[in-house]
Chains A and B, each alone.
Chain A
Amino acid sequence: DIQMTQSPSSLSASVGDRVTITCRASQGIRSDLGWYQQKPGKAPKRLIYAASSLQSGVPSRFSGSGSGTEFTLTINSLQPEDFATYYCLQHNNYPRTFGQGTKVDIK
């Protein structure tokens, strides 16, 4: 199985900050990765697909990069509605595997 190691597990940030979250895959997964945002009590929402493509309707302050084994989600100018938990997902192989999640809260 492909292990997805996500870091950090949590971070505190202020409105306007730039935030970076990383996922490392235990083997190469090309660009077969998505990033998701989940707010308490809600279903996750995909932000990024194919590692760097922005899902329709998602603000441009979200961006994704990387390929192979190392991937990054960046949030430029963090907004109040961005405080949430973020997950990566690899879909290169079965079983699909998620990172452990990164909780972004208010400093």
Chain B
Amino acid sequence: EIQLVDSGGGLVQPGGSQRLSCAASGFTFSNHWMSWVRQAPGKGLEWVASIKEDGSEKYYLDSVKDRFTVSRDNAKNSLYLQMTSLRVEDTAVYHCATGNTIGNWGQGTLVIVSS
């Protein structure tokens, strides 16, 4: 069974940084693109970033480009999202997901950007 466990969320001040992690199991992690999707409170879904199996290609939502970095460690079956220069509007539940077609989802981790 595919499992994705998101962690690393919390309260952070505007301009601060946060690193999210996603622990994957139940599938061959190194053979799959991975993605991050977020959902602001009471709002719809928004794709954030995707990374190729070997990390050689990465794509980002324009509003997070140059602030967020997606990475992976295939030896640890883990996906990461390093977030810097955080803004109030980045407040959301962040989910990791399998593939660049967004198949399976993690439960999400809440990031609150507030002073």
On A, residues with C-beta under 8 Å from B are 32, 34, 36, 38, 43-46, 49, 87, 89, 91, 94-101
Contact = CB atoms under 8 A, between A and B. Distances in A.
B50 to A, nearest CB: 7
A95 B62 contact: yes
B45 A98 contact: yes
Interface string B56-86: 0001111000000000000000000000000
Given A94-B59, A95-B59, A95-B61, A44 B46 contact: no
Nearest to B43: A101
Contacts of B62: 95
Given A38-B45, A44-B95, A49-B101, 16 more contacts: A34-B101, A36-B45, A36-B102, A43-B95, A44-B45, A44-B105, A46-B103, A91-B100, A94-B50, A95-B59, A95-B61, A97-B47, A98-B47, A99-B44, A100-B44, A101-B44
A45 B4 CA distance: 13
Interface in B79-98: 95
